Amino acid sequence: MTPLALTMGEPAGIGFEIAGAAWSTLREGTTPFFLIGDISGIRGVPVEEITAPEQAAAAFAEALPILHRPLPTQVTPGHPSQAHAPAIIASIEEAVMLAKAGRAGAVVTNPIQKASLYAAGFRHPGHTEFLGEIAGTGVPAVMMLASPMLRVVPITVHEPLAQAIARLTPELIITHARIAHAALIRDFGIARPRLAIAGLNPHAGEAGTLGREEIDIVAPAVAALRAEGIDARGPMPPDTMFTAKARPGYDAAICLYHDQALIPIKALDMDGGVNVTLGLSIVRTSPDHGTALDIAGTGRADASSLIAAIRLAAEIAQRRNA
């Protein structure tokens, strides 16, 4: 298969470390990938500098292939530098360019430290919004967190909770649910996806006694989705919809704000969770954790989520190619 492109992420975080660990785990499999970044950041595993993605597959069994993109200053683990921001952004842009050209099968992004990027003029709330701009398809870029135990789609993401709630509309729910529904069919191979739409208030509002958002916003969205032939259910009480008994009843949970989605999946499967961006012209996945600056350089980083992200990216790419 076409090798996947792995971005550098924040050099002062754990990205280089988990990239090397992921290569050690996957080197004998069928998911070759190459890293776009500074070759000096990888320690403890053999590396091979390549000059084109097409060289990655041949090198992969013996060394981690790297498109060497040198950083302007030395990296100090745990201490991000604003000087590295242009190279971090360029790594993402190059990976997307290669994927759009068919020279990379998918993009897997290492975590970024948004504060240092903001200081350098990065104007996007995060990866998802940036990727929507440079690899969009005319629909919003939508975040999904996926693991074998649960898939969740937050309708509002990186914004204050009060602001997120104020922005909720039936149309916003419908748009995200449509994109999730299409992705479950195309990328996950689910012929008739079932969507669980979360309520906002305790016990999904208890018929309006604990809030009217379920009546005025969520229920109309569910009705509209069902009228389109989408198997949508809700509003579902957020305190029970993620239980072991409830989860087998749907293929993805459409959640109304960031933590409503991310808390349950991280509690259930922090190591196996993968961030997937829906609505792009390319395949993009990422670990569901951050840069872990507090343990960078200590050798304690767990590569499980990155490994899961690489495997899922390969699976989605193969389905699209098929």
Residues annotated within the binding site for a divalent metal cation are 158, 203, 258
CA distances from 39 to 64, 113, 199, 299 (A): 10, 20, 47, 18
SS3 52: coil
Contact 195, 254 (CB under 8 A): yes
How far lies 30's CA from each of 1, 24, 305, in Å? 8, 13, 18
Q: How many CB atoms are closer than 10 A to CB 112?
A: 27
Long-range contacts of 315-322 (CB under 8 A, 24+ apart): 316/106, 316/187, 316/188, 316/276, 316/283, 316/285, 317/1, 317/2, 317/4, 317/105, 317/106, 317/283, 318/1, 319/186, 319/187, 319/188, 319/189, 320/186, 320/187, 320/283, 321/1, 321/105
**Residue stretches of the annotated binding site:** 127-128, 158, 203, 258, 266, 275, 284
* Residue showing tokens 């979360």: 198
Per-state percent for the chain, helix, strand, coil, to nearest 5: 40, 20, 40
**Neighbour tally for 298: CB within 10 Å:** 12
- Beta strand ranges found along the chain (DSSP E): 4-7, 33-37, 47-50, 64-68, 107-108, 142-147, 150-154, 194-198, 231-236, 252-255, 274-278, 284-287
Which residue ranges make up the annotated binding site for substrate?
127-128, 266, 275, 284
Distance between CA atoms of residues 207 and 212, nearest Å: 8
